[in-house]
Amino acid sequence: MIQLLPQLEGKPMLALLALCAALPACLGLRAPPPPSRAPRPSLRSRREALSLPVLSSLSSLSALSALSALSLSPAAAWASSSRTAGYAVQRPESEWAALLSAQQYFVLREGGTEPPRSSPLLREKRSGTFACAACGAPLFSSRDKFDSGTGWPSFGGALAGVQFDGAPLRAALLGAECRCAACGGHLGDLFLDGFLFPGTPAFASGKRFCIDGAALVFTPSDGGAPVVGDSPPPAPQEMPAWLTPPKVG
């Protein structure tokens, strides 16, 4: 199956379909008989929600077999591995809980997902660097940021401080977890669907990093104050009194 990849280089969707079609035979998997009533999908995470359009374009047999294989793969084990062991920045969980806000801890240390459109970093367009909210390691550059329309800060590339699961099939189908390479904090997910965003950094790289704003702190290059990604958006300014319409009645 891997031998097909060089032939399909530059054709991500064809490569994805070819991999899914070949996977059942390569692994000797058999899909169970279809249920009499299709179960309603449970969108428990951003990764599941954003991967459904890709899966819907595949045959049910290929998709089911691919998901079965991925659940048994080393990539699945990586996603559930320790966020502490092997990382340079070490703190007891009690210290992380005291250092981080409740939302930051939920995302960075528990692997949670913030609500879409909840971070002020979604609208941040200034030049600067996005760093880990837990340890301060540089993670993303504003040059790679773009508006994906998903409701989470998105980037077409990452700095060396980002660690991610390197299994291409898993990233294409389900999304691959991204972590801070210094402290192990969960950042978000990597999707190999950059070709869906023409004119953006993701289209050039083929990658879309879908990141929780709560995991980040933005420092503008002009020396302005840092923006914490889990802070609420600024309240709308009140209109001057002379612009306020008169009360009726």
> Which helix H or strand E contains 228, and what residues bound it?
strand 227-228
Token code pair at residue 6? 């060089």
The amino acid occupying position 79 is A
Tokens of 195: 């070709």
User: Phi then psi for 107, rounded to 5 degrees?
Assistant: -80, -55
Could you give the 3-state DSSP secondary structure of residue 10?
A: coil
Asked whether 161 and 132 are in contact (CB, 8 A), the reply is: yes
From 178, 180, 183, 210, the catalytic residue: 210
Task: Respond yes or no: is residue 210 known to be catalytic.
Answer: yes
What tokens does 3 get? 């031998």
Contacts by residues 82-88 (CB-CB < 8 Å, ≥ 24 positions apart): 82/184, 83/109, 83/111, 83/179, 83/183, 83/184, 83/185, 83/186, 84/184, 86/184, 87/181, 87/182, 87/183, 87/184, 88/182, 88/183
Q: Which residues are catalytic?
A: 210
